[in-house]
Chains A and B, each alone.
Chain A
Amino acid sequence: MDSLQLMLDGFRLVSAPVNLLCCFIGVVIGTLIGVLPGIGPVATMAILLPFTFSLTPVAAIIMLAGIYYGAQYGGSTTSILVNIPGEVGSIITCLDGYQMGRQGRAGSALGISAIGSFVGGTLGVIGLAVLCPPLAQVALNFGPPELFALILFGLMMVSSLGGDSLPKALLMTAVGLFVSLIGKETFTGFNRFTFNSITLSDGLGLVPVSMGMFGISEILSNVEMAAKQKVIKTDIKSLFAWREWIACRWAVLRGTVVGFFIGILPGAGAVMTTFFAYWLEKRVSKHPEKFGTGVIEGVASPETANNSATAGSMIPLLALGVPATPTMAMLMGALIIQGVQPGPLFITQYPDLFWGVIASMYLGNVMLLILNLPLIGIWVRILKIPYALLFPLITLFCIVGVYSLNSNVYEIVIMIIFGLFGYILRKFKYPLTTFLLGMVLGPMMETSFRQSLGIGRGNLAIFFQRRFSGVLLCLVGIVLLVSLVLSLRRQKRKFVEELT
């Protein structure tokens, strides 16, 4: 009953014109960047972060969350029409979505992906509202050792699932943690790695670093490729293929459940969620051999799953204070900048913010459904904007965003340096996502580690004396071992293939 009342309060909060407008702007920008290949939600959130500083925390988070789930809606458009996923969560949609487009059934594919996204998004938010508060209640008993173990577990999961190479993912996590340590240390005020620079003594800001690593490096990669895309000419008028929609209702429901629960796992991300949803759909299908040739269930299930996962991935952040994905790490950074610390106390300390965000996600999903079905024609036209016109404008936004933080040109220099760094890392296939998570969680990890040692009077066994942290650290060991074995096997197979 209490939750219902709080939810109603959330809706009341969201219905304030400013919050409604922010939700609308967020989902429109999200859909737009989802449609446009070459710019993802993490980069967009990084670019727009400085512009949210003047907003209230509720409005800022509503807008940024809107970008996140809006991008999942928009990502399918390019997969279906261009065979280029607008978003990583839409990679698998290319398989059947593009084939449907080539067969003149693009309208049907776009329609089911919008409906599936709506169902997945809405049911996922209900799951979030139900699961988050009790989980946060449990997490209230956590002390520094549990928090440290939880962060380590999250980082390890993301690293082990986040890329082809485990050592590279772990290395990027460590580099991210190191970057977060630059500047004045919180316990004693000691300056670390600052070269006596005032800019560096404040620490490397999340905005310039993430804008560089994700925004500028993405532009550099695209500028290098000078890629051009062709939009297929197909029928996008027949959006309402009711018979097909009804036929894949179970695929939508399966996608919702799979997306939500896999989305909760740290590091699972949209790719794994959608691939698993697709795999499951193929397994239960009566005609698995037809998958990849334009089967509507092959679009419905993953497109539902990636939206349901957005709600699931918010649970670790809002209930435990540990982001499960890089996008959630950006959202966490935004909350911290706004003076709000996500974690077990988040729901009790900021009930208006929590329920406001949940209510905004319901409304946002309705907005997206309205935006996506009738406006598909406009999104298709936007797809035709040449990248040559887009990248100078994105660069301009990056410069304004970073400069407006502290009116400090050195922060633009930091952005350029990290842009180049990110570009090089992309070339060598280092996962940037684990870097970002390391950078966001670094200060919290160091603090909880040092506090834990203080509590345990210097005895490292403190981490195993507490049941929860002990179990988590054992899991960390198991995850590391399994990932290492799998990674070595992969390497061995690759090595043999190269030899033969």
Chain B
Amino acid sequence: MKNREAGMAVFWILLGTTIAVWSSTFPFGNLEDPGPGYFPAAMGIIIAVIGILLLVQSRKTENANGGAPLTPRASRGPAVRRVVLYLAAMTACTVFLEILGFALAMFLMILFMMRTIAPQRWRTAVFYSLVSALGSLFLFKILLKTQLPSGFLRF
């Protein structure tokens, strides 16, 4: 689909329909004593209806600008790469957080971010990651007694 706004509108229609259909499987009750399905069903219908409205609007825009895609300029090439790398770093950190422990996971995540997303020299990146990981460990785990995973290193 050329027009991304239209794609987004279709997403809302599908989401709204799914919510409405799913809600219809919940107890509905009656108007005097509404059940748990009432309110979410209404939300689903509202989302789907507004989605249809947005789809109609996006078709008009598409016709006006000759079907040119509304792709934001920045969302290409290196910019997309930085976003994907950032999300990958966070996801990997989450997956390995309890195995590696807080300090090591944070050290690796920050090091990765500083080498790939906003490239810094190795020395700067290692120093900054180390200080951030150990500093936050001291602040949160030792000073504020926050529950943070210790991992196989047990600290």
Contacts and interface: CB of A to CB of B under 8 A. Distances in A.
Given A395-B113, A407-B147, A454 B32 contact: yes
Contacts of A453: 31-34
A392 B43 contact: no
B130 interface: no
A167 B53 contact: yes
Contact of A167 (B40, B50, B97, B120): B50
A174 B53 CA distance: 14
Nearest to A387: B118
A168 B87 contact: no
A240 interface: no
B97 A403 contact: yes
Contact of A174 (B5, B47, B65, B80): B47
Nearest to B89: A395
Contact of A51 (B4, B27, B144): B144
B31 A460 contact: yes
A409 interface: yes
Interface string A91-115: 0000000000000000000000000
18 contacts: A178-B44, A178-B47, A188-B36, A190-B27, A193-B40, A216-B90, A224-B75, A224-B82, A225-B79, A392-B129, A392-B132, A395-B109, A399-B106, A404-B147, A412-B97, A427-B72, A453-B32, A498-B61
B117 interface: yes
Contacts of B79: 224-226
Contacts of B61: 495, 498
A216 B90 CA distance: 10
Most B C-beta atoms less than 10 A away, residue of A396, A409, A412, A459: A396
Contacts of B24: none
Nearest to B23: A192
Given A171-B54, A404-B147, A454 B33 contact: yes
Interface in A363-399: 386-389, 391-393, 395-396, 399
Contact of B60 (A192, A389, A495): A495
Which of A174, A193, A459 is the most central at the interface, judged by chain B CB atoms within 10 Å of its CB? Answer: A174
B46 interface: yes
Interface of A: 51, 54, 167-168, 170-171, 174-175, 177-178, 181, 185, 187-188, 190, 192-193, 216, 219-220, 223-226, 386-389, 391-393, 395-396, 399-400, 403-404, 407, 409, 412-413, 416, 419-420, 423, 427-428, 446, 449-450, 453-454, 457-460, 491, 495, 498-499
A219 B90 CA distance: 12
A410 to B, nearest CB: 9
Interface residues of B, number: 68
Contacts of B44: 178
A409 B34 CA distance: 35
Contacts, number: 165
Contacts of B144: 51, 54
B120 A396 contact: no
B110 to A, nearest CB: 4
A409 B98 contact: yes
Contacts of B109: 392, 395-396
A428 B50 contact: no
A407 B102 CA distance: 12
Contacts of B22: 193
A446 B40 CA distance: 9
A459 B102 CA distance: 55
A93 to B, nearest CB: 26
Given A392-B113, A453-B34, A178 B40 contact: yes
Given A181-B39, A190-B26, A387-B118, A225 B32 contact: no
Contacts of A454: 32-33
Contacts of B46: 170, 174
B114 A388 contact: yes
B2 to A, nearest CB: 15
B98 A404 contact: no
B50 A174 contact: yes
A223 B82 contact: yes
A388 B83 contact: no
A416 B90 CA distance: 8
Nearest to B120: A388
A399 B32 contact: no
A178 B27 contact: no
A6 B131 CA distance: 46
Nearest to B66: A498
A185 B33 CA distance: 14
B31 A185 contact: no
A82 to B, nearest CB: 19
Contacts of A420: 87
A391 B118 contact: yes
Contacts of B118: 223, 226, 386-388, 391
B19 interface: yes
A190 B47 contact: no
A168 to B, nearest CB: 7
A400 B146 contact: yes
Nearest to B16: A174
B114 A392 contact: yes
Contacts of B26: 190, 192
Interface string B62-86: 0011000000101100011011001
Contacts of A51: 144
B82 A168 contact: no
Contact of A491 (B12, B57, B72): B57
A409 B149 CA distance: 10
A313 B118 CA distance: 38
Nearest to A427: B72
A190 B80 CA distance: 41
A430 to B, nearest CB: 8
A98 B12 CA distance: 41
A219 B86 CA distance: 9
Given A400-B146, A404-B147, A495-B61, A416 B94 contact: yes
